[in-house]
């Protein structure tokens, strides 16, 4: 079971979130959970992209890494 999380919202932000939740027809708590889940997924994808770019830069600059890629069948990108 998930544990509760306490966050402080200023009145303007809370009002905006409540209005958006109401427009979606869901409770504020569900709306905030959905926002957080979407943000966490986006952050994870962004981290994976940054890590992939870092590896690509390393391989491009390192002959031994390039050899390894060639020995294992090259890149699998388009």
Angle between helices 63-71 and 28-61 (to 10 degrees): 100
- Kindly give the confidence (pLDDT) of every residue in the chain, 78 residues in length, as a single tens digit, with 9 standing for 90 and above: 778 889 999 999 999 999 999 999 999 999 999 999 999 999 999 999 999 999 989 988 998 888 888 888 766 655
Q: Residue 60 and residue 63: Cα distance in Å, rounded?
A: 8
């Amino acid at each position: 079971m998930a544990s509760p999380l306490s966050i402080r919202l200023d009145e303007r932000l809370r009002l905006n979130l409540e209005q958006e939740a109401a427009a979606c027809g869901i409770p504020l708590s569900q709306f905030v959970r959905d926002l957080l889940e979407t943000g966490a997924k986006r952050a994870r994808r962004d981290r994976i992209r940054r890590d992939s770019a870092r590896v690509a830069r390393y391989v491009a600059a390192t002959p031994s890494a390039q050899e390894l890629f060639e020995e294992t069948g090259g890149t699998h990108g388009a």
